[in-house]
Amino acid sequence: MIAWAILLFIAGMVLILAEFIVPGLICGILGGILVLASGIVAVTAYPDYILFITVAEVIGVCLSIVLGMYLLARTRAGKHLVLSDSQQQDAGWVAADSNLALVGAEGKAFTPLRPAGSIMVDGKRIDAVANGSFIEKGSKIRVLEVHGSRVVVEKMDLE
């Protein structure tokens, strides 16, 4: 009787693994049914070990799924699902260059900055973020930091 339980369990694990190679839910469902049937056969033969049998089958199914994902990533179809290249900065993958010449520049708030808005510096409209408090339209501002496309400004005190 235990030989049937082991045979059904192994067949179920193989079908669950096959689901990762040939998707369509049929192999996975049949594999789950076979694993469930192996549990029923094992529990009817050894009812005192129901907890051990259940835990062993759950661990087996989890290991089968992890192994299936590992194998899927190494198949030709799986390699099309995974990005193999990285976007390096020296290859031109930069979202926006930092214009460090703006640091310390003075201008006016073109729109209210609550906290984001637009500023005018040297006749150019630039998207910016207020550092701390809100800045009203027309207020004099100073650029504090530039990180890529993020320009941080503060309101200048009128003395």
Please indicate, yes or no, whether the overall pTM of this predicted structure exceeds 0.85. no
Summarised one tens digit per residue, pLDDT across range 33-45 is 999 999 999 999 9
Could you list the residue range(s) of the whole structural domain that residue 66 is in? 2-81
94 belongs to a structural domain: no
Whether residue 20 is found in the same domain as residue 60: yes
Q: Lowest mean pLDDT of 58-62, 83-87, 113-117, name the range.
A: 83-87
Whether residue 127 is found in the same domain as residue 58: no
DSSP string, 52-112: HHHHHHHHHHHHHHHHHHHHHTTSHHHHHHS------GGGT--S----GGGTT-EEEESS-
Whether residue 21 is found in the same domain as residue 65: yes
Q: How many domains does the chain have?
A: 2
Whether residue 54 is found in the same domain as residue 122: no
91 belongs to a structural domain: no
The rounded percent of the chain whose pLDDT value lies above 70 is 97
Q: Lowest mean pLDDT of 9-13, 67-71, 84-88, name the range.
A: 84-88
The pLDDT score that the predictor gives to residue 158 is: 64
Summarised one tens digit per residue, pLDDT across range 73-99 is 888 888 888 887 787 777 777 777 788
Residues 127/105, Cβ–Cβ less than 8 Å: no
Whether residue 73 is found in the same domain as residue 118: no
Whether residue 77 is found in the same domain as residue 104: no
